[in-house]
Amino acid sequence: MNRQSREVFLFVNLSVDSGYYGVNHGIAYLVPIVRKHSYTASLLHIGVEMGDEEFRRTIRNLNPSIIGYSFTSPQLKFLEKYSKAASDLPGILQIAGGVGATVSPEAVLLRTSVDGLVIGEGEIPLDLLLTARREHGNIYETQGFCWRVKGELRKNAIPQFVSDLDKLEFPDYGLFDHDVIFSVGTHLSVIVSRGCPYSCNYCSNPVLRGVYPSRHGYCRVNSVEYSIKLLEHLIREFPKAEGFGFEDDLLISRKKWFLDFADEYRRRIRLPYRINVRAEDVDEEIVEALEKSGCFQTLLGVESGNEDFRKEILNRHHSNSELISKAKLIRKAGIKIFSFNIVGFPFEERRHLRDTLKMNRQIKPDDGVCTFFYPLPGTKLYEICRKEGLLCSEGRLEMPTNYNTYPMIPKSLRQREACIKTQKQLKRYFKRTTIRKIRRRVRRNRRRIENRVREYFVTRMSRQRLLARWTKDP
């Protein structure tokens, strides 16, 4: 056994009060890389804030030589806190990665105590870093990394992304606790693609593809065979799984791929699943494939119910009528709809908020969520907010760790109250739909029980009548 086989690579998944406690796919894909270099991979999943001293104690116990934090932008303050807490523990290299690092690398390095961070996808840079460490090379030259060397920032060239996703080893979710893996009931969350072809102004996706020398081919998907094999592997590994939740940004946007995949899924997997959809990509063929392959719920982005606002401010170009007709198509196939809504955008007026409510009543989702707009660094809307002086102070901007805390952008109290009111109205609407659904199910069950009872008595009566006839006959 060589010296490195005893070294520990500790992933720290920052997910403090994020409202979601699921697995981190990025970490799951990096675990095989770390193991390939003979490190022991371990994981600290922080869902609830822990004190500095507790963190340091945990680190001392786990004794890593490298800590790799994974974080999204709203978690930056926790990266600052924990990396500072661990900074005086001797002999530990602290690195970070994730969308939070990719969208604002310089700011992260200036504010936190990590030594370096990965910009973009981590498989290639991490492989290069661990190779350099093993071969005693200069780690500060590692491509894809940005470092703080003697107080100066050093940004290295970014290697092209892995163009063939099938070359990657299966992600390893084994380090996550059972309740994190099954945080959405009995469904396993999974991802078989990278990137989204659209460019919504509030989303980090355009920023993520923008970091590469060439964006050509950035939207990638695993082959159908790899994807199905991955699902089969996960079913074997987690036999309790009763379904899948595809967290890919938009699998159905690759129509031919999706039709082939759905066909194979129906033959070989046969478990219910949920998936993200966008109105433009939904058509009869896609809906039929979804239905036949076992999709029980589609997650549909409504975001704003006002067509002009959606086009001009959000860069989403589907019409209201398209949204309504595609939702109808999905409902007709018996597939549930979960609608995603956002309120509190810059320039959003009360009439826009009313339209969002109205749109939900028209598409009739089974359930949904309404969150407050959060200006993510690097996005078009973040820039617009900055130019218009709409961003609140940094301290306040960092208070929420999820999108449900309060509206960040509206300047006037009245507008802010209007957003909160719309969110409440939508919440009530979704709750009522759920109650209606439960009542319908109870009514259906009651009818089924009544029918059974009736059937029982009818058969008993006819049997008695038959018996009576037989006994009368000589």
By C-beta, is 131 or 362 nearer to ligand B12? 131
By C-beta, is 207 or 357 nearer to ligand SF4? 207
CB 304 within 8 A of CB 310: yes
- Residue count of the chain: 474
Burial 193-221 (b: 16+ CB within 10 A, else e): bbbbebebbbbbbbbbbebbeeeeebbbb
Note whether 293 binds ligand B12 by CB under 6 A: no
Residue 161, contacted partner among ligand B12, ligand SF4, none, CB below 5-8 A by kind: none
Q: DSSP 3-state helix, strand, coil percentages of the chain (rounded to 5)?
A: 50, 15, 35
Residue 275, contacted partner among ligand SF4, ligand B12, none, CB below 5-8 A by kind: none
Residue 200, contacted partner among ligand B12, ligand SF4, none, CB below 5-8 A by kind: ligand SF4
CB 67 within 8 A of CB 94: yes
By C-beta, is 112 or 371 nearer to ligand B12? 371
Contact flags string 376-395 toward ligand B12, x per CB under 6 A: x-------------------
Note whether 211 binds ligand B12 by CB under 6 A: no
Contact flags string 223-252 toward ligand B12, x per CB under 6 A: ------------------------x-x---
Instruction: In angstroms, give the least distance from the CB of 368 to ligand SF4.
Output: 15
Note whether 205 binds ligand SF4 by CB under 6 A: yes
Nearest to 239 by CA among 262, 213, 271, 201: 271
What's the sign of the alpha-carbon dihedral 453, 455, 457, 463? negative
Q: How many residues bind ligand SF4 (CB under 6 A)?
A: 10
Residue 95, contacted partner among ligand B12, ligand SF4, none, CB below 5-8 A by kind: ligand B12
The total of other beta-carbon atoms located within 10 Å of residue 281's CB is 19
Applying CB under 6 A, among 7, 15, 342, 430 the residue interacting with ligand B12 is 15
By C-beta, is 209 or 326 nearer to ligand B12? 209
Residue span binding ligand B12 (CB under 6 A) among the ranges 68-76, 135-143, 254-262, 414-422: 68-76
Give the list of residues 6+ apart from residue 296 with CB closer than 8 angstroms, or none: 243, 272, 273, 274, 335, 336
CB 315 within 8 A of CB 391: no
d(CA 223, CA 228): 9
Contact flags string 263-282 toward ligand SF4, x per CB under 6 A: ---------------x----
By C-beta, is 405 or 415 nearer to ligand B12? 405
Angle at 458 between CA 453 and CA 460, to 5 degrees: 95
Instruction: In angstroms, give the least distance from the CB of 5 to ligand B12.
Output: 20
By C-beta, is 105 or 301 nearer to ligand SF4? 301
Note whether 221 binds ligand SF4 by CB under 6 A: no
SS3 65: coil
Which residues are paired to 68 by β-bridges?
A: 11, 95
- DSSP string covering 161-188, please? P-S-GGGSPPP--TTS-HHHHTTBTTEE
Q: Which of the residues 279 through 318 are near ligand SF4 (CB under 6 A)?
A: 301
Which residues are paired to 336 by β-bridges?
A: 297
Contact flags string 336-375 toward ligand B12, x per CB under 6 A: -----------------------------------x----
By C-beta, is 26 or 368 nearer to ligand B12? 26
By C-beta, is 73 or 94 nearer to ligand SF4? 73
Instruction: In angstroms, give the least distance from the CB of 122 to ligand SF4.
Output: 20
The total of other beta-carbon atoms located within 10 Å of residue 384's CB is 18
- DSSP string covering 257-323, please? HHHHHHHHHHHHT---EEEEE-GGG--HHHHHHHHHHTEEEEEEEEE-S-HHHHHHTT-----HHHH
d(CA 325, CA 151): 57
Note whether 249 binds ligand SF4 by CB under 6 A: yes
**Parallel, antiparallel or unpaired: strands 145-149 and 152-155:** antiparallel
Instruction: In angstroms, give the least distance from the CB of 204 to ligand B12.
Output: 3
Q: How many residues bind ligand B12 (CB under 6 A)?
A: 40
Applying CB under 6 A, among 27, 175, 196, 385 the residue interacting with ligand SF4 is 196
Nearest to 367 by CA among 332, 333, 331: 331
CB 263 within 8 A of CB 294: no
By C-beta, is 25 or 311 nearer to ligand B12? 25
d(CA 345, CA 309): 10
Q: Which of the residues 115 through 144 are near ligand B12 (CB under 6 A)?
A: 118, 121-123, 126
Q: Which of the residues 77 through 96 are near ligand B12 (CB under 6 A)?
A: 95-96
Instruction: In angstroms, give the least distance from the CB of 376 to ligand SF4.
Output: 10
Binding site for ligand B12 (CB under 6 A): 15, 18-20, 22, 24-27, 29-30, 68, 70, 72-75, 95-100, 103, 118, 121-123, 126, 191, 194, 203-205, 247, 249, 371, 376, 402-403
